[in-house]
Amino acid sequence: MSAAAEALVDAPRLDLAAAEFAQDAAAGQRINDWLGSVDAATRVRWSLAHLPGPFALSSSFGAQAAVSLHLVAQADPAIPVILVDTGYLFPETYQFIEQLQKQLNLNIQRFSSPQPVAEFEAQYGKLWEQGRAGLDQYLELRKVEPMRRALQTLGTQTWFAGLRRSQAESRAKLKPLEVRDGRFKVHPIFDWSDRDVYLYLKAHGLPYHPLWDQGYISIGDWHSTKSLSEVSSAEELRFSGLKRECGIHGLEG
């Protein structure tokens, strides 16, 4: 028996629906304690074996996105990869998407606002320049609504995401398995450090985002992303420091 198979021999079972799991603190503690004791690949395999499908992985194709994409694609290359395309991604991000799609044979499913960029700006202006309220509206229309629609369209019951506790204060309490909007949400690399990410990328011949070497370590839309050389603190890298989270993951920042 392989080491990978052995890791699942004594794995806990989960016979609860998402809503039941969310209310059962003892079950949540038991499962998350076990998931916290195994490696990320085992977390993915356990989730595929014990959680309900359909499954999906979300990715912004940001700086270190190749890690989660590789982990999940290695376990099941057919899993849909949800890409929310705001229409304002960097040209380098589109290049990175194409590169990783070819390298990992990803099943990318692209979702966007139904409103083209020109029409959107004609109606609302540059919402990201209109304070916190404008930014929140922008994110709801260009990111959160398409993500919500993606999960519904694909019938997703278990959602993988590459969030890590060390990325931001808003993510410091992440658990490997949570329930979000009635579906299971799995964070296979929730406890990884930047060094863990680096070592995984190196071991598997995976790239960073093309803008990484220019000091962009948190990469989203071109109008709301800054490099390290442009800011005085990490909190200003995205959204001019007005917030940290875009809202897709239900976290506040």
Please give the DSSP secondary-structure letter assigned to residue 157.
S
Q: Which residues contact 7 (CB under 8 A, 6 or more apart)?
A: 38, 39, 42, 45
Determine the Cα–Cα distance for residues 84 and 109; give it in Å rounded to an integer.
9
- 136 flagged as catalytic: no
Report the chain's C-alpha Rg in angstroms: 18
Q: What backbone torsions phi and psi does residue 117 show, to the nearest 5 degrees?
A: -55, -45
Determine the Cα–Cα distance for residues 181 and 249; give it in Å rounded to an integer.
10
Catalytic residue among 136, 246, 248, 249: 246
Whether residue 242 contacts residue 131, with contact meaning beta carbons closer than 8 Å, is answered with: yes
How many C-beta atoms surround the C-beta of residue 213 within 10 A? 8
Residues in the chain: 253
Active site residues: 246
